[in-house]
Amino acid sequence: MKKAVILLSGGLDSATILYDAKRKGFTPYCLIFEYGQRHCKEIEQAKMIARRARCHYQAMKISLPWHGSSLLDKKMSLPRQGKIDTKKIPSTYVPARNIIFLSFAVSYAEAIGARAVFIGANAIDYSGYPDCRPEFFKAYQKMLAKGSKTGVEGKMVRVHTPLVRKTKAQIIKMGLKLKVPYHLTWSCYQGGRKPCGKCDSCLLRARGFDAAGMKDPVI
């Protein structure tokens, strides 16, 4: 049995990689983080997606009390510029978030004997986060070779980023073929009854569905 740890946020991308891992023959172990984000809706959606996929999941609560991001600090305003500049790092960047999440995921993988970690990072249609870029994952993989038991023993945990060079439209089309339940996903930085349609995440999602020629089932 091939095991894989899936970083599942409840969003469109992470749901897609979960179903991609299943298609590739992995038995998924989903890891869901509550890290003090503005709302818990995405966490509940992630749990529903994991149950829908009939996968084991574990929800972890961690604390980042120093904030440093508009996703963590409600006193900070969310960017709603209408145009996303990927050359600038927005206020929604959570300091070292993917480094933290991947470290938990690799620890989990080593403990359960998994040889793979899947993360739905994307460097094409994204908000410019430095920890979503291919060069970051390449460097992180090199670090695992030197700083983990499996790496030193030549049985290294591999970090899979199947979406990193895909457009949002390509991701959506891929997910539709995999029968990803996009109606269960949540991308909005707000936790309302409906997506705000104005934050960076909503804009990227809307453009993706539009480019794919599909209607977003959440709206």
The full set of domains in the chain, from first to last, is 2-211 (3.40.50.620)
Confidence of residue 83 (pLDDT cuts 50, 70, 90): low
At residue 79, the pLDDT reads 79
pLDDT tens, 118-139? 999 999 877 789 999 999 999 9
Q: CB-side exposure of 37: number of CA atoms within 13 Å? A: 23
* Cα(173)–Cα(69) distance, integer angstroms: 31
Contact 119, 9 (CB under 8 A): no
pTM score of the predicted model: 0.95
Arithmetic mean of pLDDT over the chain: 94
